[in-house]
Structure 1
Amino acid sequence: MPIRLGKIGYLNVLPIYHPLESGLLKNDFVVTSGPPAALNRLMDAGELDLSAASSVEYARHPDKYFLIPDIAIGSRGPVQSVLLLSRRPVQELDSKTILVSAQTHTSAALLGVLKKKLWKISTGLVTGNATAALEAGERPEAILCIGDEALNLRYHPDYPHRIDLGEAWRELTGLPFIFGVWLVSRESWERDGERLEAAARMLVEGKRWGEENIHEICVLAAEDSCLNDEEMCSYFDGLVYDLGPEEQRGLAAFYDCLVETGVLERAPELRFLPRI
């Protein structure tokens, strides 16, 4: 049986997946692509063996997964692709309603933390499709958008106030923020641990290839984007693909904040694959 691998369908994972999908690194993956929320559901249902997933997905079901060491996606400041776009300063959003992308779990949870701990505001939230709403002529007071949609909408003229949630987290804590992690299903591990160990190593090898060839990745990503080569390189320069000690502290701090804001009952321990 091939290894069932989940891939976030955004540009930010291109450095990891390009060498795998192009055949530069030989593998037996069958790749399923989708937004983070969809991959979370597939992992929870046991329909993927390993996958990129929202940080919140691991926190909600830590007994179902192992974290893959040395690989994540986050930022140590501005991330550029997780944005709160607002028609007014963020402090004036108190008692207003924010349109939140249905594609995200972690960014929505982070927004809740920042509202309470950094901005001291309370807002309503409604889930929807920001691009479709804007094309239909709607103008919500504020929009939380992620991924390629955020890159495309970040200079929308009706939303002069742009708050980068990665930068806001850094302002609050001084730590990196980890939006996504790579998970291995414990059930799959028990069934086929040796092959999944090799698959996890292959993902980390893909990450290293992408980091070593990041200019090539920037040019490739810019071909089908509204960003030019220079802008794309600036975007990738702001991303973190490691899950080292500082990134783990940032992730643990986020989980503590989710307990404080009532999203989690308790913060999970970070449990990594038994061997890799």
Structure 2
Amino acid sequence: MLTHERFADVCRETTWHAKKFLDLISIHSEQEVRGRQPRATLNPLTVLMAAAAWERFLNDLAGAASYPDEKWGERGASGLGRFQIPKVKRADGKGWLSRPWEPEHLSPYLRRRGVLDRDLSDEWAAWLSFTWVGATPKGWVFAEYARNAEIFRDVLKEAQKVRNGVAHLAFPQDLVTAQESSYSWSNNARTITVQSGHARGLAAAVMQLIDASIVTVARSHGWPCEGHRLPAAWFRDRVPDSDSRYPGAEFWGGQRLHRLSP
């Protein structure tokens, strides 16, 4: 069973992990330039780190609810150790599903582990970007999982596909050629990168889902949400100048992201 102390540990680590992909966006934005450039390498790494933060958050939640007391705190920055959510066989027997990217399979697994008593996606609501111009995400659509689950699944699968492409340096020129729930391990792209606006849009989606999921888990146990969530400043259209790490940063091209009310 997940305890409040362990939940606080997980959230503290998750905030640290989120800084990794925000750091990359911040570095990319330090100087405005055009054309092909070395900093383009930061774009796929931004998606990779955002996807890693999502997977690590879910794995740590499962581990926090599963580790016996004698093993808790024996390794890792906060002693979380390592815990991996196993894949599950598809209903048709063809291939495997990766639970961190399949909400309908993830929620039952986390309930069985004692992480929460409801669906992780119950509170999911987010501004999602589907187009981009250069470094600016565009085509923002506000969606709620309860009303349109498919759009969230599409975004998660897109993040997973880009994450896999980065990890294996396998980028099709057109991401549509990637398989629905896996990846075609071919590279016919002229450059191993993705547009900065695309990377930022996917990072924005992941960040909103992490924060909403923190709220869902906390409410499931009757714990206060504030103090465990990602900083509100990161969701602003412009980070306040008072922020010590990203003063004045405009991560999302002028878009304010959704953050659930306390």
Shorter-chain TM-score above 0.5: no
Greater relative contact order (CA < 8 Å, ≥ 6 in sequence): 1
Query: TM-score of the superposition, structure 2-length normalised?
Result: 0.34
Q: Which structure shows the higher strand fraction?
A: 1
